[in-house]
């Protein structure tokens, strides 16, 4: 086992992630999570892929993920979320999924090539399965890092239309408070009614769902608020 590390891997929190499989999807996912401020461990048996990413993420380790003892050595169970990004190797994905759930990993997300594989992985314990031709590594990273973000539609290279939960820190704040993020609120959905084109003085309430438009990075800032 070889390891490239910038920080100690002790004291993991739920906002630290492990990515097993550093191919195109896994590498883009790991890099994007790190860019968004989350410590990320990358794991792959391919030393070249490990070396290629080692300077970009918190830690990169070369090991065989089908070796349960090796996974325990890197304390994989301390990560709240582990993503298995090996859609081309269904057998390995299934085996590693069972290992991770057996070790007590709270959330295991798998990449799959077909809906049939997705169904099987869910039955053996995966908490979420992404079909590889439906999602990108960067999109998954943004979803994991910004849990308030429910849906996003790209409008152009920089701007998006997003549906997101109103962060608790913005409850009781006026709609105008989002202007400092250069974001426009198009609609507020409440359990009992819709508020289209809400007035700037309308105050946000707990449970509000916001439909907003703005630059992608600005939307992610809001979706990442506590």
**DSSP character string of 148-198:** TEEEEEE-SSSEEEEEEEPPGGGTTSBGGGGGGGTEEEEEEEETTEEEES-
Tell me if the pTM is above 0.75. no
For the chain, the domains span: 2-145, 149-223
Any idea which architecture 2-145 has in CATH? 3-Layer(aba) Sandwich (3.40)
For domain 149-223, give the CATH number: 3.30.70.1450
Digit-coded pLDDT (tens) for 34-61: 988 889 999 999 999 999 999 999 999 9
Question: pLDDT digits over 77-131, tens only?
Answer: 999 899 999 988 999 999 999 999 999 999 999 999 888 999 999 999 999 888 8
Contact residues for 71 (Cβ-Cβ < 8 A; gap 6+): 63, 65, 96, 99, 100, 103
């Amino acid at each position: 086992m070889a390891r490239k590390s910038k920080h100690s891997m002790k004291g993991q929190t739920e906002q630290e992630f492990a990515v097993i499989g550093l191919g195109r999807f896994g590498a883009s996912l790991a890099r994007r999570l790190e860019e968004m401020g989350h410590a990320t461990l990358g794991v792959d048996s391919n030393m070249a892929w490990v070396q290629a990413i080692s300077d970009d993420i918190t830690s990169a380790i070369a090991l065989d993920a089908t070796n349960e003892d090796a996974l325990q050595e890197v304390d994989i169970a301390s990560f709240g979320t582990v993503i298995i990004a090996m859609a081309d190797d269904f057998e390995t994905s299934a085996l590693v999924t069972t290992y991770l759930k057996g070790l007590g990993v709270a959330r295991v997300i798998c990449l799959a090539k077909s809906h049939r594989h997705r169904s099987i992985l869910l039955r053996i314990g995966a908490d979420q399965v992404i079909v590889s031709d439906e999602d990108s590594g960067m999109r998954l990273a943004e979803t994991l890092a910004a849990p308030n973000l429910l849906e996003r539609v790209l409008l152009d290279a920089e701007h998006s239309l997003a549906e997101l939960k109103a962060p608790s820190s913005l409850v009781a704040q006026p709609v105008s408070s989002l202007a400092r993020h250069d974001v426009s609120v198009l609609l507020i959905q409440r359990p009992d009614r819709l508020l289209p084109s809400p007035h700037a003085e309308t105050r946000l309430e707990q449970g509000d769902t916001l439909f907003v438009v703005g630059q992608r990075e600005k939307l992610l800032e809001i979706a990442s608020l506590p």
